[in-house]
Structure 1
Amino acid sequence: MERILSMEDIRFTYTPDEPDQPYAVDGVSLGMQQGEWIAVVGHNGSGKSTLARLMIGLLFPQEGTVGLFGDTLTEENLWDKRSQMGMVFQNPDNQFVGATVQDDVAFALENNGIPFKEMTVRVQEALAQVKMDGFMDHEPQHLSGGQKQRVAIAGALALKPRLLILDEATSMLDPQGREEVIKVILELREKTGLSVISITHDLEEALLADRIIVMNRGRKFAEGTPAEVFAKGEELTALGLDLPFAARMTALLRDRGLPLRETMSERKLVESLWTSRSNG
């Protein structure tokens, strides 16, 4: 499989003229294959959002290299690489440039030279995917926070990116909206091989990933499958992270003497409880 992202010993500081200040990202290395979903989790200030900005060239590291789609990321190839990516930030107001919802979703497509006829189809499809096609002529500033975030996600999906980066992109959505958007992304991933990097503090969302990276004080604290990472339960809670509900409940019930298997899935927790009851 093609490696679409690589970061080698990345170091970045917002205060390069103050050598005694800690790095926002300190010695981080990672690689990502086509079609993979990686979740980057950590408390506020852990470096995860800075890491996302380094991935797409909004920032360049003082040390180390970033590779995208087989090439080292440089200022010369930055725009070509970005044309293959979509990114959604936590605050959608920072991304709006169009007078209407459809203008905003079309903006990046127009910049990438997509023909008008195809652009129209893509805008309609992307807005329908996030259930915002009924708002095409609305002004973005008059939308609710959750609606704005859906439009921002539609703008990224319309690009048909090879790599989608979500920086706390579902944090402003209600539970149903979050579930619907995640479902769309999962379907696109299955159909197109879309690669996803989810920057989040929501460990329930991180369960969807193939691999989780835990950031702490600018460094990579842990990396592995969801099962491997969440096995570090007490270490994660010490960092200020909340374990998924099923993992927390399993631990509490095991402390009370129930012989349950480690699980992070609510469905598997119910099955384990049923088995325990049947055997008891």
Structure 2
Amino acid sequence: MMKEVLSMDHVSFSYQSEEGVTEKAIDDISFAVQQGEWIAIVGHNGSGKSTLAKLMIGLLFPDEGEVNVFIQKLSEANLWAIRSRMGFVFQNPDNQFVGSTVQDDVAFALENNGVPFTDMVTRVHESLAQVNMSNFHDHEPHHLSGGQKQRVAIAGALALKPELLLMDEATSMLDPQGRDEVIRVVEELKTKTGLTVISITHDLEEALLADRIVVMNKGKLLTTGTPTQIFARGDELEAIGLDLPFAMKVSRLLRESGMELFGEHMTEEELVNGLWTSHFSK
């Protein structure tokens, strides 16, 4: 049986505005993440994704319900022990850098956690190798490209040997090449190590790679399912302000123009295969 790594159990959270008005940001959310899964949490701006991320790592605590991580209710008493088993990669990698070189930056959290020097050196080299950044260990982080910076941020998280990697809009500031670099690294790590991944994103192209997708809308859980199940509800996703993957939009436009296409096409490869099949079936 798969082990449950994280669960939200009827979680609600409200903010207090400057005018004293209570605004519910998360409204009765429940779902679970199993060991080795990649879960993508998607939603438009203001859907509650960022608040959900803060609840998962204990920057906020729910008004109602429970956040359970590694089968423990997250609380102030166990917060640091639980965080030590998690890795975080955020939207802007520059905000995470503290070292003057790449290797110093990756080693920073290890040093804070009291990891012995010889073990620390090994972990730094191993984690940089995992993200294909071994040749940059003496480089200054701020001189790297966006994709390289995020790979260093991932290396810093991996050096701690986390059981769960949380990425909060980690590719949103990257160009297409940088985004592809980061996603490829995460895919490879998940395949090789069985790492559990939660990616919070508004990018449905990225969400296609997940095992399951959680769709948020106005603080509520709209639906959850596999990418195929979720994108079968394309009209509903567009209605709440989400942008469908490029291949799906092209496929729809081709059908509307009268072309006969078989099946759904969520990726460009599927679309090409669909066009090929349609052409040679005539």
- In the superposition, the TM-score normalised over structure 1's length comes to 0.93
Seen in structure 2, the aligned counterparts of structure 1 residues 247 and 215 have a Cα distance that, compared at 3 Å, is: same
The alignment status of 1:56 with 2:49, answered yes or no, reads: no
Q: After TM superposition, give the deviation of residue 205 of structure 1 in Å.
A: 0.5
Cα deviation for residue 128 of structure 1 reads 3.2
| Structure 2 counterpart of 1:39 | 40
1:54-102 C-alpha deviation (Å, 9 max, x unpaired): 1111211111101011111111111111111101110223222223322
The SS at the match of 2:264 is: coil
How far residue 14 of structure 1 moved from its aligned partner, in angstroms, is 2.6
1:132, CA displacement in angstroms?
Answer: 3.3
In the alignment, is the contact (CA less than 8 A) between 2:17 and 2:23 conserved in 1?
Answer: no
Separation of aligned partners in 1, 2:277 and 2:122: 50
The answer for the alignment partner of 1:77 in structure 2 is 78
Q: Percent identity?
A: 66
Question: What code does the residue aligned with 1:14 have?
Answer: Y
Mapped to 1, the partners of 2:251 and 2:119 lie a distance apart of 50
Post-superposition shift, 1:178? 2.1
Residue in 1 that maps onto 2:138? 137
Any residues of structure 2 matched to 1:204-243 within 5 Å, and which? 204-243=205-244
Q: Counterpart of 2:274?
A: 272
What is the CA–CA distance in structure 1 between the aligned matches of 2:149 and 2:268, rounded to whole Å?
A: 31
> What one-letter code is carried by the residue in structure 2 that aligns with 1:97?
V
1:106-121, aligned counterparts within 5 Å?
106-121=107-122
Which amino acid in structure 1 is aligned with residue 73 of structure 2?
T
Residue pair 1:23, 1:218 contacting (<8 A) in 2 also: yes
Q: Distance in 2 between matches of 1:109 and 1:161?
A: 12
How far apart are the structure 1 equivalents of 2:148 and 2:265? 34
After the TM superposition, which residues 254-265 of structure 1 pair with which residues of structure 2 at under 5 Å, given as runs?
254-260=255-261, 261-265=263-267
Q: Tell me how far apart the structure 2 counterparts of residues 18 and 220 of structure 1 sit (CA, whole Å).
A: 27
Q: Which residue of 2 aligns with 1:201?
A: 202
Name the amino acid aligned to 2:125.
Q
- Amino acid in the other structure paired with 2:75: T
Distance of 2:85 and 2:204 partners within structure 1: 27
- Deviations for 1:225-271, whole angstroms, at most 9, x for unmatched residues? 11111112122112221101111111111222223211212212111
* Partner amino acid, structure 2, of 1:189: K
The 3 A distance-change label for structure 1 pair 146 and 262 is closer
Do the aligned partners of 2:5 and 2:71 also contact (CA within 8 Å) in 1?
yes
Counterpart AA for 1:113: G
Cα separation, 2, equivalents of 1:167 and 1:243: 20
2:246 alignment counterpart: 245
> How many aligned residue pairs are there?
280
Q: C-alpha root-mean-square deviation of aligned residues, in Å?
A: 1.9
Distance 2:14 2:154 in 1: 29
Q: Given that residues 149 and 172 in structure 1 are in contact (C-alpha distance below 8 angstroms), is that contact kept between their aligned partners in structure 2? A: no
* Distance in 1, Cα, partners of 2:179 & 2:277: 31
Distance in 1 between residues matched to 2:78 and 2:17, nearest whole Å: 24
Question: Separation in 1 of the partners of 2:182 and 2:146?
Answer: 15
Quote how far apart the aligned CAs of 1:37 are.
0.7
> Once the 2 structures are TM-superposed, how far is the Cα of residue 276 of structure 1 from its aligned partner?
0.9
TM-score by length of 2: 0.92
Structure 2 alignment gaps of length 5 or more: none
Deviation at 1:141, TM superposition (A): 4.0
Amino acid at match of 1:213: V
* Partner SS, residue 148 of structure 1: helix
Distance 2:275 2:91 in 1: 37
Counterpart residue identity of residue 277, structure 1: H
Q: Check conservation: 1:101, 1:135, Cα contact below 8 A.
A: yes
**Cα distance in 2, alignment partners of residues 9 and 46 from structure 1:** 17
Q: Could you say which residue in structure 1 is the equivalent of 2:160?
A: 159
